[in-house]
Amino acid sequence: MSQIRILAVAAGRGGTGKTTLAFAVADALRRLDPAADVALVDLDPQAGLTGYAKLPPAADPLNDPPVDTHGLPFYRGGRTLAHATDQQLARHLERALDGRDDRVLVLDMAPALTDAAHRVVFARPDVMLLGAIKTDPGSFQSLNELVAYVSRRGLPYVLVPTIHRSVLLNNTMLLTMRQQHEGHVSDVVVPLDGKAAECVVAGQPVTMYAKRSKAAKAIFALVEELFGSAVPATAER
C-alpha cells in the first residue's frame, strides 16, 4: 500500500463535527510531533473551515498562497472550487504537497459525495478517509454511501464516531456501527461537548483552545491510534 500522505476528512452530510475534527487532527499532528510537516486544505466551496479559522474565503483558492494559521500552512476554501475541473483540483493537491515527501495534508471535504473534489481526492492511492460519523439513526445512509465510495476504490478508511451526549440511543447506534463496519471504526469517540463548540467561536482547534478537554484528549488519542509509534508519546501537548 502506498504511503498515506493525505487524510481526507469527510462525512457525506453536515452536522457531524467534520470540520472541527479536521482542524483538530491537523493541530494534534503538529503538537504530537513538532517536526511533522502538516498542511491544512479547505476543499469546501462554502469555506466552512476557512470561516471557522476567522479568515476570509480565498478569491482564487486554486492559486492563492497558503496562510499561516496557528502554525499550519492553510490553503483556504472559496466559491470557485465548485467550478474547478478535475485537473485543476489535482494540481491544487500537488501544490499543497509542495514536492515534500514527508508532508501530510489534512483535507476538509465538502459535506457531499458528488463533487469533483471527492472524485479527484479518492482517485489517489496515498489517501486515507477519516469519516466523521454522528451516532444517530439519520447518519447510516450517508455512512454506508461513504464506505461504499472508498471501498470500491480499495482505499483505507477509519470511521470516527462523534457523539453529542451519551444516551442509550447513541450508544446503540455506536454498537451497530461497530458491528456493521468491524475493524474500521475507531476506538475513540469524539464528544461534541461545550469546549468543541466554544473553540469554533474562538477560531481555534479544540486541541489548542482546550487541550485538557474531553474532545481534545479524544483527538490526541485518535491521532496516536492512527499513527502509532510514529507519533512521539512524550511530545508536549
Please say whether the beta carbons of 43 and 112 come within 8 A: no
Specify the 3-state DSSP secondary structure of 77. coil
pLDDT at 233 over 60: no
What cell does 14 get? 453536515
Q: Which residues contact 41 (CB under 8 A, 6 or more apart)?
A: 74, 75, 92, 93, 96, 105, 106, 107, 108
How does pLDDT run across 136-151, given as a tens digit for each residue?
Answer: 777 777 778 888 888 9
- Number of alpha carbons in the 13 Å side-chain half-sphere of residue 13: 16
Q: Mean of the per-residue pLDDT values for the chain? A: 89
> What is residue 169's predicted lDDT score, i.e. its pLDDT?
54
Helix (H) or strand (E) holding 197: helix 194-202
DSSP E strands in the chain: the ranges are 6-10, 37-42, 67-69, 72-75, 103-108, 127-134, 157-163, 190-191
Comparing 191 with 237, the larger pLDDT belongs to 191
Poorest-confidence range of 4-8, 22-26, 51-55, 151-155? 151-155
Q: Return the domain boundaries, the chain.
A: 6-226
Integer angstrom CA distances of residue 208 from 26, 100, 103, 195: 11, 26, 21, 11
Identify any residues that bridge with 6 across adjacent strands, giving them in sequence order. 105, 127
Residues 45, 91: Cα–Cα separation, whole Å: 17
How does pLDDT run across 13-46, given as a tens digit for each residue?
Answer: 777 889 999 999 999 999 999 889 999 999 999 9
How does pLDDT run across 197-212, given as a tens digit for each residue?
Answer: 899 999 999 999 999 9
For 101-143, the DSSP string reads TTEEEEEE--S-SSSHHHHHHTTSTTEEEEEEEESSGGGHHHH
In the chain, the amino acid numbered 78 is: G
Report the CATH fold assignment for 6-226: Rossmann fold (3.40.50)
